[in-house]
Amino acid sequence: MTPDLCYHGSMEFFRTHKTECWITGGCAAALLACFALYLIGNPIDYWYEGVIVVCDLVLFMVVGVLFVFRWIGAWREKTPDPAAPRDGIRIFLLIFLIMALSHAVRILLAYLWQIAAFGFDSSPLDSLWTWSGSDTRHYLAIAEHWYADYDNSGTVWRLVFLPFYSILVRLLAQLTGHYFPSGMFISILSSCFAGCALYALARHDYDRETSLRAIKYCCILPAALFQTAALTESTFLLLSLLCLLGARRKNWLLAGIAGGLAAFTRSVGVILLVPAVFEWLTEVLCAEKKRAPLLWGFALLLIPAGLFGYLLINYLETGSAFTFTVLQKQNWGQQLGWFFHSVRYQLNYCLRWLGSDKRSDALGLWIPNLLAQFSALGLMAVGAKKQRPSYVAYFLIYFAVSMGTTWLLSAPRYLMVLFPLLFAMADLGRRKWVDGALTFSCLLLGQLYLYAYIGRLDVY
């Protein structure tokens, strides 16, 4: 192609997509300006730091560009969202059983790992305690004692953990009399229902085979072990999916309630307001009668209400709505930062620990963190162009916030609940060799990660 044709082609593309080009140009300039300011205050010391930071930033910007073009294109066309095909109850029962079976297999594999690698000689029932993850004791303590200073430490530092999952555990424990089994049961049950919700949401955009493939990846993701543990991930995933499912089906009350409970489970749940509002605005633009969807949009205010409920608890317990931010900074040096800074310090820690007596912990912590972040960005850089703009917007903001914390230990666990990644993998898996490669990688890395988790390495 001659330079003349390239020039005219570029100009024609700009005229056709003028809005998209201005928005992407403005956002890219703003992000690069922030990056430049970051470099001024945090100059690069080693070449490999520059490489990993730039790669992280570039991948994120690629996903951002794809999002803008999908977003403006969708709103320009103003095409109504077609209803998803209605599948029978049998497929949902099958998915529920598949999800339950995946947990049973994972628990069995963990038990076999304990015997083969660590000489475990107690009963299978005793082995279940291995599923009390790093934060499980805190959620169970909240379930049993609320935020009271029951250990006489002089501070209610457990305020950094949101309460909805613990409330569910307490309600079930009133019937069972046991907190840990109740927590584990809620996680597994939530995961099984999340599989059903994931399939129902996928059917709005994909055929049955692709939707079922998303279920497969939900079961075999390396970090899927956190769905079995007594932690919040399964509950948060279920509520997130119900929020988006409500938005796609124009059930704004369901979207608001589920999103609000998600924000009452984990603070990043408030980000669900972004995709929900995207879907609501799409409905407003496409609807012939604007009044009904405009009024129902107020139901989406229930999403931030969930976070406000948590802030109210902080206020009632300590007299300040933002005590949790102070506690996070005091106890863990935790605050919001730049997502590209996370990969920088994690790489430095990884190299340092690999060369010391903490080599095994580097394998359980820093390497999985780095792999999870780059895998997520890589998958979305390839798959975002085929996803709904609301999903990609959710991914971008969730990734920037959750990966931008200044002491990030749980990247695989936090990214595991990002359903757009499952859709990206399911869509890429239309090619059999890609599906085979992704499946093999997930199964292999999943067993390595499970081994690290069972061995009590730094897996959070």
Alpha helices in 249-338 (DSSP H): 252-263, 273-286, 291-296, 302-318, 323-332
Name the band, by pLDDT with cuts 50, 70 and 90, for residue 5. Answer: very low
State the pLDDT at residue 449.
Answer: 95
Looking at the domain assignment, is residue 116 inside a domain? no
CB atoms within 10 A of CB 378: 15
Query: How is residue 266 annotated by DSSP?
Result: -
Tens-place pLDDT, residues 282-340: 888 776 555 556 677 889 999 999 999 999 999 998 899 999 999 888 887 888 899 99
444: pLDDT strictly greater than 90: yes
State the pLDDT at residue 296.
Answer: 75
Which residue has tokens 């205050």?
41
Looking at the domain assignment, is residue 397 inside a domain? yes
259: pLDDT strictly greater than 90: yes
State the pLDDT at residue 129.
Answer: 85
Q: Which of 439, 426, 436 is nearest to 391 (CA)?
A: 426
State the pLDDT at residue 456.
Answer: 84
Looking at the domain assignment, is residue 4 inside a domain? no
Q: Which domain holds residue 363?
A: 16-43+54-77+323-428
Looking at the domain assignment, is residue 443 inside a domain? no
State the pLDDT at residue 7.
Answer: 46
State the pLDDT at residue 83.
Answer: 74
How is residue 253 written in tokens?
């009350």
State the pLDDT at residue 357.
Answer: 82
How is residue 203 written in tokens?
């059917």
Q: Give me the mean pLDDT over the 442-455 stretch.
A: 93
Query: If you count them, how many residues does the chain have?
Result: 460
Looking at the domain assignment, is residue 340 inside a domain? yes
* Higher-pLDDT residue of 88, 275: 275
Name the band, by pLDDT with cuts 50, 70 and 90, for residue 128. Answer: confident
Q: Is 6 exposed, middle or buried (0-12, 13-18, 19+ CB in 10 A)?
A: exposed
State the pLDDT at residue 458.
Answer: 85
How is residue 126 written in tokens?
């005793």
Which residue has tokens 């300039």?
29
- CA 190/CA 240 separation, integer angstroms: 11
Number of domains observed in the structure of the chain: 1
State the pLDDT at residue 152.
Answer: 59
How high is the mean pLDDT of the chain?
Answer: 90
What is 26-64 written as a DSSP string? HHHHHHHHHHHHHHHHS---SHHHHHHHHHHHHHHHHHH
State the pLDDT at residue 335.
Answer: 87
Q: Give me the mean pLDDT over the 114-119 stretch.
A: 81
Beta-carbon contacts of residue 168 (< 8 Å; ≥ 6 apart):
186, 235
Looking at the domain assignment, is residue 144 inside a domain? no
CB atoms within 10 A of CB 174: 9
Looking at the domain assignment, is residue 200 inside a domain? no
Q: Which helix (H) or strand (E) holds 361?
A: helix 359-364
Looking at the domain assignment, is residue 455 inside a domain? no
State the pLDDT at residue 114.
Answer: 87
